[in-house]
Amino acid sequence: VLQLTLAVIKPDAVAHPLILQELHKAILDNKFMIVRCKDLVWRRSDSERFYAEHSGRFFYQRLVEFMSSGPMRAYILAREDAIHHWREQMGPTKVFRARYTSPASLRGQFGLTDTRNTTHGSDSPESARREISFFFPDFHVEEWLERE
Ligand code: CMP
């Protein structure tokens, strides 16, 4: 069955046109349908809200700052098993692990650090719904899925 996920190309990758292009190509090569796409810049408060669940972690300030440091690109992607499949393309969060265990993954190829790790992807249908409406408030997941 068709599933939606939210994919984000983070500021470190958007800053490099060739990397941005490679990531966009990876989306198309993997047969994702691009349902929505937009470029945006977060205020610090958007970043804090989106990552609130990490607010106690040592990397929170770093993460919040980074994600509001420049333009990023958000996609709503559709595919069979989209959530799992996009996370598989991204590879592990930590750059060390990505480099050594999944060098062909997007983070394995382009990730700079554990924070500047190129991409984000929803990790469950619940977070996909939350994250899609965070980035695309006018988009209705259920309505879209019913229409398809
Ligand atoms: P993301 O998938 O967007 O979800 C949470 C983000 O926190 C993660 O990608 C990384 O950018 C960041 N993050 C997670 N773990 C660490 C870590 N150990 N050190 C620094 N940043 C991290």
pLDDT in tens, 46-68: 999 999 999 999 999 999 999 99
How many structural domains is the chain composed of? 1
Residues lining ligand 1, Cβ inside 6 A: 54, 59, 63, 93, 114-115, 117, 120
- Work out the mean pLDDT of the chain and round it to a whole number: 97
Q: Please state the φ and ψ torsions of residue 82, each to the nearest 5 degrees.
A: -60, -40
Annotated binding site: 10, 59, 87, 93, 107, 117
What ipTM does the predicted assembly reach? 0.94
Q: What is the CATH number of the domain that holds 109?
A: 3.30.70.141
Give the domain extent around 86. Answer: 2-147
What pLDDT, in 10s, does the model give residues 72-109? 999 999 999 999 999 999 999 999 999 999 999 999 99
State the Cα angle at 115 between 113 and 121, rounded to 5°: 115
- Ligand 1 centroid to Cα of residue 57, in Å, is 10
pTM > 0.90: yes or no: yes
CA distances from 64 to 12, 42, 50, 54 (A): 13, 10, 9, 10
